Amino acid sequence: MGLFSKKKHHTAGQVDENRLPRHIAVIMDGNGRWAKRRGLPRTAGHKVGAEVFRKIATYCKELGVEYLTVYAFSTENWKRPADEVNTIMGLLKQYMLEAIDSMERDQIRLRFLGDLSALSPELQELARRTNEISSHIQGFQANVCLNYGGRDELLRAARHFAADCVEGRCRPEELDEERFSGYLFTDGLPDPELIIRTSGEERLSGFLLWQCAYSELYFCDTLWPDFGPEDMDRAIVAYQQRDRRFGGVK
């Protein structure tokens, strides 16, 4: 079975498949608590969490969502114990290796977003190969944010734009929202219409700070390792019931 199997494992329930969000972003939280409740090491939660990401990406693809972006490792997560960081990096490596083998067959684009320069040379090379293969593929795209921080992303964009001005490639008055978006890691992606955070925490923790301006936020108590297609359905149904006005009136 491929990384993203085509097996239909769930019916969409009340989800209106004609009004799906194009882009869903997820803060996959609660792996540590899930493990602790079972008397397991935190790393066990991340292992199950990586499996759940595979299943949810497959489900989003089947449903017809175009982009799924997950927060796998923040710029702050380096503060965690070394064995936990190593386990997460190991899971990412395994995921990249599998993806490199199966993406073309499954027509899945996988991209890694964030400051990848802090990763090991091996992971950087695997991420580079994955991003390169993705550039030749059409269809569903899964984005994994790695060593990502929203403030860091905005600072980089500002620095990059300032450097372009200093070097005469553009003028400050030419900067508009579209152009600024082009300096972000998410260049080319539509903003997420729906951002989900699992495990009962209700904050963004620096995730997609520019891109979330008009996102609908959905928080649920389910811990990420327990998150299934039916939880995704609930989130999408809640999104479809929201009244999105973008600052206007109806």
| Binding site residue list for substrate | 30-34, 42, 46, 74-76, 78, 80, 197, 203-205
* Binding mask of the shown chain, residues 186 to 215, with x at each position contacting ligand FPP by CB under 6 A: -------------x----------------
Give the distance from CA 179 to its chain's centroid: 22
**In sequence order, what DSSP letters do the residues of 34-61 get, joined into one string?**
HHHHTT--HHHHHHHHHHHHHHHHHHHH
Q: 147 or 199, CB closer to ligand FPP?
A: 199
Asked if 88 is part of the footprint of ligand FPP (rule: CB under 6 A), the reply reads yes
Q: Which of 66, 59, 64 lies closest to 17, judged by CA?
A: 64
Calpha distance 132→129 (Å, rounded): 5
18 is catalytic: no
Stretch of 8-16, 23-31, 126-134, 203-211 lying at the interface with ligand FPP (CB under 6 A): 23-31
Q: Which of 30, 149, 150, 206 binds ligand FPP (CB under 6 A)?
A: 30
* Binding mask of the shown chain, residues 128 to 157, with x at each position contacting ligand FPP by CB under 6 A: ----------------x-------------
Asked if 68 is part of the footprint of ligand FPP (rule: CB under 6 A), the reply reads no
How many other C-beta atoms are found inside a 10 Å radius of the C-beta of residue 10? 15
How many other C-beta atoms are found inside a 10 Å radius of the C-beta of residue 38? 12
CB-count exposure of residue 162 (10 Å: 0-12, 13-18, 19+): exposed
| Residue 172 and residue 165 in contact, taking contact as beta carbons nearer than 8 Å | yes
Residues 40-59 that bind ligand FPP (CB under 6 A): 46, 49-50, 53
Which residues sit at the interface with ligand FPP, rule CB under 6 A? 28-33, 46, 49-50, 53, 70, 72, 77, 88, 91-92, 95, 144, 199
